[in-house]
Amino acid sequence: MIPWDEAIFDDPPMQPPPGSVSRAKKLWTTLGVCSNFVLIKGKPALAVGGKLLLSGLEIIRTAILAIPWLVVCIIIAMFVGSWFFTGPTITVSSFTDPSVDKSESLGQTIADALALELQHIDQLDTLRNPWSRAEDVRALWVTTPQAYERVGTINVGSTQLPVGELLLALKALLPHRHPQNVITGSIWRLSSAERTPIRILVRLEEDGRILNHWSSKEAIATDDVAIQTFVKSVAFEVMWSMGRGNEAKSIENFQSYINGVEKFRRYKDRGIQQDFNEAKTHLAATIADNPQYMKAHYYLGTLYSWRANYEKANRRMTEKYENKAREKYDMLTSQDSPDVQALGHFGLGLLAYRHYQREKPVSPSDLELRKADQHFKEAMPQLPFARTGHALVYKEMGCSPRAIREFQRARRSVEGQSNISWIDEQIKALNTQERRAKQAMQKARDGESRWSRLLAVFSWSSAQKGCS
What are the tens digits of pLDDT across the range 194-220?
567 888 889 988 766 788 888 887 788
pLDDT, one tens digit per residue, over 288-333 is 999 999 999 999 999 999 999 999 889 999 999 999 999 999 999 9
In angstroms, the CA 448 to CA 154 distance is 80
Q: How crowded is residue 214: how many other Cβ atoms within 10 Å of its Cβ?
A: 17
What is the fold of 88-244? Rossmann fold (3.40.50)
Q: Pairing relation of β-strands 89-92 and 180-189? A: parallel
**For position 279, what pLDDT does the model report?**
96
Q: Which of these, 422, 421, 418, 389, lies nearest to 406 by C-alpha position?
A: 389
Q: Cβ–Cβ contacts within 10 Å for residue 279, how many?
A: 26
* pLDDT score of 376: 93
pLDDT at 120: 86
Strands (E), 118-179: 141-143, 153-156, 159-162
**Domain boundaries, given as residue ranges, for the chain:** 47-85, 88-244
Contacts 24+ apart (CB under 8 A), 397-400: 397/369, 397/466, 397/467, 398/463, 398/464, 398/467, 399/463, 399/464, 399/466, 399/467, 400/430, 400/433, 400/434, 400/437
Residue 139: which of 122, 164, 115 has the closest Cα?
122
Distance, CA of 26 to chain centre: 74
26-31-34-35 Cα dihedral, nearest 10 degrees: -140
Q: Residue 194 has what pLDDT?
A: 59
**Residues forming beta bridges with residue 90, ordered by sequence position:** 142, 181
Which segments of the chain have a pLDDT < 70?
1-28, 30-50, 71-72, 74-88, 99-105, 127-179, 191-195, 207-208, 364, 415-418, 441, 444-468
Give pLDDT tens digits for 335-358: 999 989 999 999 999 999 999 988
Q: Are 218 and 191 in contact (CB under 8 A)?
A: no
Which residues sit opposite 179 in a β-bridge? none
